[in-house]
Amino acid sequence: MKFSNLPLSKEMLHNLNEIGYKEMTPIQAQSLPHILEGKDVIAQAKTGSGKTAAFGIGLLTKLQVKKFRVQSLILCPTRELADQVSKELRMLARTTHNIKILTLCGGTAFGPQLGSLRHGAHIIVGTPGRILKHLKKETLSLENLDMLVLDEADRMLDMGFSEEINEVLGFAPKTRQTLLFSATYTDEIMDISSSIQKDAVNIKTTSNEIANKISEYFYEVEYGQKLKTLVNIFSNFKPENVIVFCNTKVEANEIANTLQDKKIDALAIHGDLEQYERNDVLVQFANKSCRVLVATDVAARGLDIKELSMVVNYDIPHGDETYTHRIGRTGRAGAEGLAFTLYEANEIQNADEYKNDTRLFEDANELKEIIGFEMRPVNVTLVIEGGKKDKVRAGDILGALTGDAGLAGSSIGKIDIYDRQSYVAIENSKIDEAHKQLKNGKIKGKKFSVWIL
């Protein structure tokens, strides 16, 4: 569909043509008519699908240039993303004179931002922590705001920004248009949408609409060959992250240890762990500091891991319900999931009972053995001995890591903040740099002990 089908100004259409945007991308075609009508929209679309222009064209069309007040606010998870959004908005706005767009992010000096704010702006793009700081100091007012955008909302929640977002919203007028963009839909995202949006139009682009697609494999394994088969499954199918379910604590520890010996990054979780140990393991698995989680059923209950690429039943589960529940964790958000079930001949009375149209029964001996296969974690977790009770927030940690020639926001993963501790996932190759930066620096003007998990 062409942009000219939309009620856009001549200048905007001309500019889009100049930029080389000839046709709308699917997310633009589906969301822009609603956005231009003033409706709240929640939209899911992959990275690179053109979300920035979708909300950008919407907010620029709505903007009253003559009214020199902050009318639009865009919240982004990192400084890099905020810079990208500002750049795209400037390009879209270049034919309208005198539109002022200001970027406000943590990890950069506060002083110069005050100066820029004093000169005024129409549009603010920034990270929740820094925006909140300006709101509290009353150096920024949202009194005239009529468009609020949460860009990459899932990433913001992952980074621990939900509290800051809620506080920022407290400063915004109730009557406004709110747009929410997210690559994935989770319960948390739907909760946020229902608490901050009104009658939101729900948009998913078709490429993401493919329902949970799970490929189910069953392998009959010779006696004592399960571990070997497990490693072969990993090396042949190369999953990002896996949960291996087994029946006992002893087995869970044994499998995890053997995998570690084989340079496959694994941790065990079972009922014998202390609460804090359990937490350390779950945090590392969820933030990509651990690739394989070996779990007993009890321990895995209530575990909500998004985007799991593989589930392995190391033992055949008792009952169909357990089976369905276990494998349902994989293949989320349109990605294809893989489910494997291993059994020895003596563990199963009649394999036919498990057969149906969708399940593939294979011979474990046909899996190739791949020499030198390793599974290394993407991230490493830093623990900070400070949390909510110490008033430590995601924005403070992000600022301490990225400020003053620090790390790029893209090297920082999930941030989890608990009462007395915080966990930050750091890209593997950047861990020493990050550790040093936090150890020598301060968070909120205070020193905290920091260690690598």
Residues at the interface with ligand ADP (CB under 6 A): 21, 24-25, 28, 45, 47-53
| Min dist. Cβ of residue 181 to Mg ion (A) | 7
**Of the ranges 48-56, 164-172, 218-226, 422-430, which one interacts with Mg ion (CB under 5 A)?**
48-56
Task: Give the DSSP H or E segment for 278.
Answer: helix 275-286
Q: What is the C-alpha to C-alpha distance for residues 79 and 86, in angstroms, rounded to an integer? A: 10
| Min dist. Cβ of residue 9 to Mg ion (A) | 24
Work out whether strand 266-269 and strand 292-296 pair parallel, antiparallel, or are unpaired.
parallel
Determine the 3-state secondary structure of 62 from DSSP. Answer: helix
Looking at the Cβ atoms of 48 and 372, the one nearer to Mg ion is 48
**CA distance readout (Å), 178 to 167, 181, 195, 199, 310:** 15, 10, 11, 10, 36
**Of the ranges 49-57, 116-124, 338-346, 377-385, which one interacts with Mg ion (CB under 5 A)?**
49-57
Radius of gyration of the chain (CA): 25
Please list every residue from 51 through 80 that binds Mg ion, using CB under 5 A: 51
> CA dihedral defined by 220, 221, 227, 233, rounded to 10 degrees?
-50
| Min dist. Cβ of residue 397 to ligand ADP (A) | 25
Determine the 3-state secondary structure of 417 from DSSP. Answer: strand
* Residue 425 binds: one of Mg ion, ligand ADP, none (C-beta under 5 to 8 A by kind): none
Looking at the Cβ atoms of 49 and 309, the one nearer to ligand ADP is 49
**Which two three-digit tokens encode residue 139?**
């150096």
Looking at the Cβ atoms of 51 and 133, the one nearer to Mg ion is 51
**Of the ranges 47-55, 200-208, 308-316, 428-436, which one interacts with Mg ion (CB under 5 A)?**
47-55
| Min dist. Cβ of residue 81 to Mg ion (A) | 7
Q: For residue 191, count other CB atoms closer than 10 A to its CB.
A: 12
Looking at the Cβ atoms of 182 and 232, the one nearer to ligand ADP is 182
Determine the 3-state secondary structure of 281 from DSSP. Answer: helix
* Residue 372 binds: one of ligand ADP, Mg ion, none (C-beta under 5 to 8 A by kind): none
* Residue 193 binds: one of Mg ion, ligand ADP, none (C-beta under 5 to 8 A by kind): none
* Residue 48 binds: one of Mg ion, ligand ADP, none (C-beta under 5 to 8 A by kind): ligand ADP
| Min dist. Cβ of residue 78 to Mg ion (A) | 11
Q: Exposed, middle or buried by CB within 10 Å (0-12, 13-18, 19+), for 428? A: middle
Looking at the Cβ atoms of 51 and 130, the one nearer to ligand ADP is 51
DSSP 432-444: HHHHHHHHHS-BT
Q: For residue 385, count other CB atoms closer than 10 A to its CB.
A: 14
**Of the ranges 27-35, 43-51, 206-214, 402-410, which one interacts with Mg ion (CB under 5 A)?**
43-51
Instruction: Decide if 131 contacts 103 (C-beta within 8 A).
Output: no
Q: What is the C-alpha to C-alpha distance for residues 49 and 43, in angstroms, rounded to an integer? A: 11
Looking at the Cβ atoms of 148 and 426, the one nearer to ligand ADP is 148
Looking at the Cβ atoms of 3 and 448, the one nearer to ligand ADP is 3
The count of residues in the chain is 453
| Min dist. Cβ of residue 172 to ligand ADP (A) | 22
* Contact residues for Mg ion, defined by CB under 5 A: 51
